[in-house]
Structure 1
Amino acid sequence: MKKIVFLLSLSMLFACKNDDDNLDDNPFLTSPLVNLNLNLNLPEYNSLNFPSNSLVVTRQGIRGVVIYNVDNTTYHAFELSDPNHVPTDCSLMEVDGIEATCPCDDDNKYNIVTGQNITDPSRYPMQRYRAVRSGNTIRITN
């Protein structure tokens, strides 16, 4: 009986899938080390104090990170390199409102709230990073 319980426990452990496993499925993007601490008391991050605002930080990630404030408690952070082709000179997406657009000639457009491809939802979504607010600091990691 102990062997059966052990085998069932072991199989359940390996059957579980981590939320980040979908990042490994994208053949175009790597998972760079991202570790940002944004102090909302600083003027450069002030826009993130207000819902529906976003901020682009280019010093981390592959091409940069866009952070979006949903409701002052929930934040979303995504990689700014287009996830549907190998990073190139033109793969840094441009953010306008809640859309990120790839300037390459592929017409890829993404929603920075959900990360989904607006042009073709069957394509890879934007690569997501963890965004957690604690007090007046937002921590972005992967």
Structure 2
Amino acid sequence: MKKTTLLIILATFIFGCSKDRFNNDNPFLPNYNFSIDLNTNLPIYASLKFTGNAVKAFPANGPSRGIIVFNNGSGFNAFDGACPNQALTTCSTLNISGSNANCPCNSENYNLFTGQSPGQQYELKRYRVEVNGDVVRVFN
């Protein structure tokens, strides 16, 4: 009985715990290994200090359409800058419009608080974010 209980507890810890639960399996968007630090004291990123603001950044070795970083009031969301429900084309670069990102190819609107668009198969591809003082680090 003790061995079985110990085995169940051990299996729960091994298979049940994960640091991040990101699902970035989108057939239209490749996975990139990148990291970028955005210093909110710099004028180009200063708007990130305020809730509801977003900026676009282009990390080296990152997504070809850049990333969108959004201040959601309790932290930051970071998303791929490409439309998630179609192959990469000349019109698949998301545009920021307030707290939404718009895909010009088919007029899809994605909420930057959630990354979702009603009725769409894939939500915006999310990246990890860490905040250290005035620096917002986005990475995958």
TM-score under structure 2 length normalisation: 0.83
Q: Which amino acid aligns with 2:137?
A: R
Size of the alignment, in residue pairs? 136
Q: CA–CA distance in 2 between the matches of 1:89 and 1:61?
A: 14
Shift of 1:136: 1.0
Instruction: Tell whether the 8 Å contact from 1:74 to 1:132 is kept in structure 2 after alignment.
Output: no
| Preserved CA contact (<8 Å) 1:28 1:87 | yes
Question: Partners in 2 of 1:87 and 1:2 — Cα distance?
Answer: 55
What do residues 44-75 of structure 1 show as CA deviations (whole Å, max 9, x unaligned)?
1111122211111134324111111122x501
**Counterpart contact for 1:32–1:62, Cα < 8 Å:** no
Shift in CA distance, 28/3, structure 1 to aligned 2, threshold 3 Å: farther
Higher helix share: 1
Which consecutive residues of structure 1, in runs of 5 or more, have no partner in the other structure? Answer: none
Mapped partners of 1:37, 1:75: distance in 2: 13
Percent same amino acid at aligned positions?
37
Corresponding residue number in structure 1 for 2:70: 68
Q: How far off its partner does 1:10 sit?
A: 5.5
SS at match of 2:44: helix
Measure the CA separation in 2 of the matches of 1:74 and 1:67: 10
2:124 counterpart SS class: coil
Query: In 2, Cα distance between the equivalents of 1:6 and 1:41?
Result: 51
Letter in 1 for 2:132: S
State the SS of the aligned residue for 1:43: coil
Matched with 2:112 is 112
